[in-house]
Each structure stands twice: as structure tokens, then as C-alpha cells.
Amino acid sequence: RSTDLVDHSRNLGPYESLDLNALDYGPGKNIMIRATANNDATLFEGYFDPSFNVVPGAGGTIWYDISVIPNDCGTSWSHCSGSGVGYNAPLTVEVVGKLQAKCENLVCNQPRCPAGYHVPDDNLKVKSCEKKTSFILTFGCATR
């Protein structure tokens, strides 16, 4: 839902998977992965920052979150038109490797899920892991 996004959409059949390396997007590039091409969709969002080390000497940090912000929202729920729904599929983000501090698994199974980023600048929901961290994203069935 932000600028500087590159569409890496792929159509996957049942039981198919896609292996992406966040570093392939390049430093300072936003990562957005969703279950469908619909703008009002549950999103995995990420960003690789090579200049910040959440763990000293880690070579950079991957910042990430689950976003369920309706496409038509401003800075708060009160600015939404009411027509958008930012959630369309359950999403689990599993960290492969060492969990630490703000590097943790996320689960969003409903529109107002506690792990979801609900409004822009809801920065307490943003998590961070060291550069070498891998993630497994699992989307449930999309409703639209």
C-alpha cells in the first residue's frame, strides 16, 4: 500500500510454493506479498535496511509486518470511507531460525487480528530480524 513497490505476483496452484529472497528486492526496497491481486488484501510487508543492525554485526535488518489496512484508509480508522476491507485471507509468518526480541512469528486469522497493522504508522506492530533470517508465509483461502 506504499510507494516503490515492485509487483512480484505469481499464480500458484494447490500445494505449490514460491521461494523468494528478501535481499533480491535490494536494499531500501519495500516488499509486499499478498494472496490475491485485490488491493484490499492481507499483506506481508517487509523492508531490508543494510545500515541498521538489530543484532550487532548482523549485516542489516529485515523489518516486517502483517497489514490488514483497508486500501481506502488515511491515518486512522476514522479516516476510512467504510467501503474497504483490508483482510481477505488468514496469514501466518513463521520465522525460520532464532527468535529474539522483536523477531517473532505472526498470525492473523481475522480482520481485527492483534498481530495486524491496522492503520498507517501503527509501528508497534512492526517486527525486526537480522539479515540472514528466513520466513515461511502461509496464506489460507482468500475470500476475494
Model pLDDT for residues 6-30, shown as the tens digit of each residue: 555 566 666 666 666 666 666 777 7
Q: What is the pLDDT of residues 81-140, one digit of tens each?
A: 556 678 888 999 999 877 777 899 999 999 889 999 887 777 889 999 988 888 888 888
Nearby residues of 11 by Cβ (< 8 Å), 6 or more positions away: none
Sign of CA dihedral 64, 84, 110, 34: negative
- The whole-number average pLDDT for the span 64-83 is 73
- Rounded CA-CA distance 2/84 in Å is 16
Q: Is the pLDDT of residue 144 over 70?
A: no
pLDDT the model gives residue 1? 46
- Its pTM stands at 0.81
Confirm if 46 and 91 have CB atoms less than 8 A apart. no
Q: Is the pLDDT of residue 48 over 90?
A: no
Which residue matches cell numbers 523468494? 20
Higher pLDDT, 46 or 26: 46
pLDDT the model gives residue 69? 85
- Strand runs (DSSP E) across the chain, as ranges? 30-34, 43-49, 61-67, 91-96, 106-108, 116-117, 127-130, 134-139
Confidence of residue 50 (pLDDT cuts 50, 70, 90): confident
Confidence of residue 36 (pLDDT cuts 50, 70, 90): confident
pLDDT the model gives residue 2? 46
